Structure 1
Amino acid sequence: MDKTLVLAVRRDRDLRIILLEMSEQDFYYTITQSSTAEFKDRGSKFIAYAFPIETADDFKTQLQLLKKEHPKAVHHCFAYRIGTDGNNFRSSDDGEPSGTAGKPILGQIDSKELTNVAVVVVRYWGGTLLGVPGLINAYKTTAALVFQVTPIIQKQVELKYTIEFDYTQMNDVMMILKQFNCTIITQEMQLFCMIKTGIPKNRLEESLYRLKELQNVTVKKIV
């Protein structure tokens, strides 16, 4: 094959890969409801709880509730991932041998390419040591089982903004938010109104242009 043609094919392939990656960054996968699953091995019982979260504080609240629900469990191991930049995650073995619980759980979250998701696996001791390979398999399997019964959805990546406007502009602002499929997070409707909204990343330029065209409307990005 001609070298120029080979280079052109490679450039075309690389461009398609880049465009695909850019497109994928406009969306992410997550869950919107809680689920549970159970796994047993040589007397030990492992119960997995998967639930959606937005912040680390959301997770801490759920973890405390599970600890109250299972006060006699010997371990409450967990992992979570938050956000779309890949930097906000945590895992814990909660007293199990290092690397036998939290990492296998996080591995199942990542194998599904999920974010804004947490999994807690509660263990009740069964009287028999499972060993490192057995523990890794147990926590991995339990986390995998809970995702088999948890609906996974695709959501748009949204950037958060506040919109401040006079009440007379209400219909115009709401029409734009609806047109671009924006999420209304909070709203204060008085003579002078404020809406906190999530604007889809792939519609950001268009929606901001339309909003800023309106008179007496202030749009600010939430950092």
Structure 2
Amino acid sequence: MKTAILATVLSLMLIASCISSSAQTKKTFSNIQNMTAWTSCDVCSGSGGNGNTAVHWQAQFQSTPSMSGSSSQFYFGGVQAYTSALWWEQLGSNPQYSHFNYDLQFYVTDITAPQALEFDVNQSLNGKKYVFGTECDLRGTYKGYWRVWDATLHWQNTGIACTGITANAWHHLVWEFERTTDGHTHFIAVTVDGVRRVVNRYYNPLNSTAKELNVAFQTDGNKYPNTYSVWLDKVSLIAW
């Protein structure tokens, strides 16, 4: 009897230790929209890193529209058709992390103006760059669907709808990613406004000498050079 009790106690202690260890190894980067080292470019965000210029800027610490009281506005004004602008925030190298949940709220003024909205996580280590690139295709070939990035074949349609995104309203987005032990990007699932859909796509990484972890957001213009703004709020990256 004592032996059984002791075994039970030891098992519970082991479980508690594992739970504690797991909790300790998780890292949450919170309110990334308020971090002050955001970088942007327009030319580099185009096809092959050689796009056209676009008017773009970021205004942080906005009280309206906002869910937390401090959102970040990303303004895009296309001068020519199909221009784009990319923003990103570096989060250190952090090579120990291989699982990522990119969690944010977004608000767009005109849902007909963007060609697509992109939400990305990038990790570079050991000579490879793992691009967890995603986009809601709003006016392209796969209009109304989520696409994900394949370093070899580029954008791939997931067949998962990104419809239901409306203008002048907040939408909650969560992307789940994994850098696999055999060196692939794994797009696990996407959740929009509480509805989770499994993606389960695997792709190869790029070659890179960088050592970094960052989150990114990109505005894409369509054939009409219309202006629009997107606000991001409660932006976080959970890594473990």
TM-score (norm 1): 0.30
Structure with higher RCO (Cα < 8 A, 6+ apart): 2
Q: Which has the higher strand share?
A: 2
Q: Which structure has the greater CA radius of gyration? A: 1
Q: Which has the higher helix share?
A: 1
TM-score (norm 2): 0.28
